[in-house]
Structure 1
Amino acid sequence: MAASSDRNGSADMSGGFEVTKVGGVRIRPLRPDDAMALAQSCFDSFTAFNNSVNIPPHLDFPSVEFTHGVIKHLATVPGMYAVVAEEESSGDLMGAGFMTSGDAYGIGPVWADNAYKGKGAGKAVMIALIAKAKSENAKSIRLNQISANVVSFSLYASLGFLPVECWQELVGCVTEEKSLSASRSVGLQPLTGVHVRKMEDADVKVCNELHVKANGLGRTEEIETAIPAGNSWVLVRNEEIIAYTLGFDLMGHTVAQTEEALVSLFTGVCLQHPDSSPHPTLHLPSKLYPRLLHWALAAKLKVSRSCWLMVIGFYQSPQHDMVYCPGVTL
């Protein structure tokens, strides 16, 4: 791909980033014409790593076409920063990274092209994103890291991130019968008088309040922008929202008032789409919620991998006995 027209880093580019250099790597804002090349690079990078540790590839980016859609979508999300790494001498794309802004800044996905592994592309992208967040006085910068990837863990730790929670990705679609049986086996009382429905614009305020109550930080903008995709759901009891998810998938996070509410929400979403592919995924911090882990295993969900939630700055464990399951960024 052609190099940026500004080789000296003097032009103020879209997204609030300037072209910068880290070693032999040039960092610049993502452009619309980067999307297809980055889709192939991202798909190849994640596929190669997942294959190396026996992680099912559909958990990240199942095809180049799917990845292209994700990148195009992320590039349009309000408050999203997106940068690419170029080799300074050739202008070739070496990798890329995304970061959401808000009360907490969430980094991900980040990757290096397979041809440039170990050449500093991932580090250069991370340095640029961290610097941007700090320049905006971010209270908290967060990411989720696949625990099997010791290289990325070491990189993020060296840049100041600390691991705060380990969570398991549990994959599968439960039936009502399996969910009830699993609940009884671990001592969870199934909720009555609840129903699951798609999230609406009028729900944003209440859902954000649930997030603030659990985590001390808001996510209003992210909740708002996720609704049109159609993957966001709420659990309602007596006209009160007691749990929500932005999707049981790679990007979505989930908040519930109780463990029972989390079970009802996940089960309800599964019942809406019993034959969905890929299957729903639950990102469960198992140390915080051991009974939910036992429920998931009893319901025949499968552990596909473990990940670390890593943070620079503010972090608090979920408060008020609430359940929080992170998305890929935070």
Structure 2
Amino acid sequence: MDVTIRQATTDDTDRCGSVIYLAFKGIADRYQVPSFFPTQEFATEVIDSLIANPSVFGVVAESDSQIVGANFLDESDIIRKIGPTAVHPDFQSRKIGRKLMEALLERGREAVSIRLIQEASNTTSLSLYASVGFDVKEPAVLIGGKPKSKPDPTIEIRPLQESDLEECAALCKQVYGFERFQELQQAIEHFSPFVAVIQNRIIAYATATNFFGHGVAKNEADMQALLLGIAAAGDDPLSLIVPLCQASFFRWCLGEGFRVINTVNIMALGEYFEPQGCYFSSVAY
């Protein structure tokens, strides 16, 4: 079977959405875990936003004019992010996933580091990512729920604003070792990011409290205050990807009523520094 790898275009949105939905549904059904893309409509919306984003480079695998796979590289910040990666269920085990990964790794060959999140139950993708150079850096869990405790009234929880970007970027650099400035800026446009503030000083932020967003704080208490405040501000449950190395924070989440939804691995190729402080990962890293 001849397969061509080419750059994704806006004309590919619907077909890519279908491939992403079916691929993730197949994995979810096989391992009896929830899918990251529960509906085709949601998958198509995500792909539409990725293809439309000039900071994202997407590729598709095409065979006989049919799109059979897709993959995306986010080049917004110094650390590149890969995903979602998917091959149509009818075309798996034909090394198409490897070709998609190799195309993006060639594109990002000058990057300091490339990161991704891998579903731990999917042993096939784990083997693929490891074989092309990625290392597992942290096991993590996707958790969901709404904390039971009330927020601290002495800590202000408010939406993240444009004027907060520099301070949030500095906090991110302190915790992660580098800035995620463009990701912060895009969060204002696409999500509902929040900050926790004491005496006009930002102590924690979250770009989103679903698995698309990440959050950082100098310590666990600041992160707890942020999440309690965000939860109190809305009705929707929160979902976070929590690295298991943060055992105390994970236990706090369980005590607050969060439940484990899925297990994942944070993987990296290239430079990696263990984050300091308290943090939760996005679906990219």
Asked if TM exceeds 0.5, the reply is yes
Aligned partner of 1:13 in structure 2 is none
Post-superposition shift, 1:149? 0.6
Whether 1:93 and 2:93 are equivalent positions in the alignment is: no
Tell me the distance in 2 between the aligned counterparts of 1:260 and 1:103. 29
Post-superposition shift, 1:192? 5.3
- The one-character-per-residue Cα deviations of 1:71-115 (angstroms, maximum 9, x if unpaired) are 11112224211111112xx12111101111121011011111111
Picking from 255, 266, 273, the partner of 2:216 is: 255
Q: Give the counterpart letter for 1:113 in structure 2.
A: H
Picking from 265, 268, 282, the partner of 2:229 is: 268
Higher gyration radius (CA): 1
The worse-fitting range, judged by mean Cα deviation, of 248-257 and 123-132 is: 248-257
Q: Give the counterpart letter for 1:142 in structure 2.
A: R
Secondary structure of the structure 2 residue equivalent to 1:265: helix
Post-superposition shift, 1:26? 1.2
Picking from 193, 202, 221, the partner of 2:182 is: 221
Aligned partner of 2:60 in structure 1 is 84
Aligned partner of 1:184 in structure 2 is none
Post-superposition shift, 1:239? 1.1
Tell me the distance in 2 between the aligned counterparts of 1:162 and 1:271. 38
Aligned partner of 1:18 in structure 2 is none
- The one-character-per-residue Cα deviations of 1:42-97 (angstroms, maximum 9, x if unpaired) are 1111112112212123xx1121111111111112224211111112xx12111101
CA RMSD across the alignment: 1.5
Identity %: 29
Secondary structure of the structure 1 residue equivalent to 2:192: coil
The worse-fitting range, judged by mean Cα deviation, of 103-112 and 113-122 is: 113-122
Picking from 136, 143, 146, the partner of 2:119 is: 146
Tell me the distance in 1 between the aligned counterparts of 2:84 and 2:149. 32
Post-superposition shift, 1:191? 5.1
Picking from 161, 166, 179, the partner of 2:149 is: 179
Aligned partner of 1:285 in structure 2 is 243
Aligned partner of 2:141 in structure 1 is 168
Post-superposition shift, 1:245? 1.0
- The one-character-per-residue Cα deviations of 1:214-263 (angstroms, maximum 9, x if unpaired) are 11121111111121123211111111111111111122111111101111
> Equivalences for 1:196-235 in 2 at 5 Å?
196-235=157-196
Please, which runs of 5 or more residues in structure 2 have no aligned partner?
none
Whether 1:104 and 2:79 are equivalent positions in the alignment is: yes
Tell me the distance in 1 between the aligned counterparts of 2:262 and 2:169. 28
Aligned partner of 1:64 in structure 2 is 40
Tell me the distance in 2 between the aligned counterparts of 1:193 and 1:154. 48
Aligned partner of 1:52 in structure 2 is 30
Whether 1:297 and 2:254 are equivalent positions in the alignment is: yes
Tell me the distance in 2 between the aligned counterparts of 1:225 and 1:76. 13
Please, which runs of 5 or more residues in structure 1 have no aligned partner?
1-22, 181-189
Post-superposition shift, 1:128? 0.5
Tell me the distance in 2 between the aligned counterparts of 1:265 and 1:229. 20
Give the TM-score of the pair, scaled to structure 2: 0.95
Number of residue equivalences: 284
Aligned partner of 1:117 in structure 2 is 92
Whether 1:325 and 2:283 are equivalent positions in the alignment is: no
For the Cα contact (< 8 Å) 2:175–2:278, is it kept in 1? Answer: yes
Tell me the distance in 2 between the aligned counterparts of 1:192 and 1:250. 27
- The one-character-per-residue Cα deviations of 1:169-224 (angstroms, maximum 9, x if unpaired) are 111112xxx236xxxxxxxxx85521211111111111111111111121111111
Post-superposition shift, 1:154? 0.4
Q: Give the counterpart letter for 2:113 in structure 1.
A: S
Tell me the distance in 1 between the aligned counterparts of 2:142 and 2:26. 19
For the Cα contact (< 8 Å) 1:108–1:143, is it kept in 2? Answer: yes
Give the TM-score of the pair, scaled to structure 1: 0.83
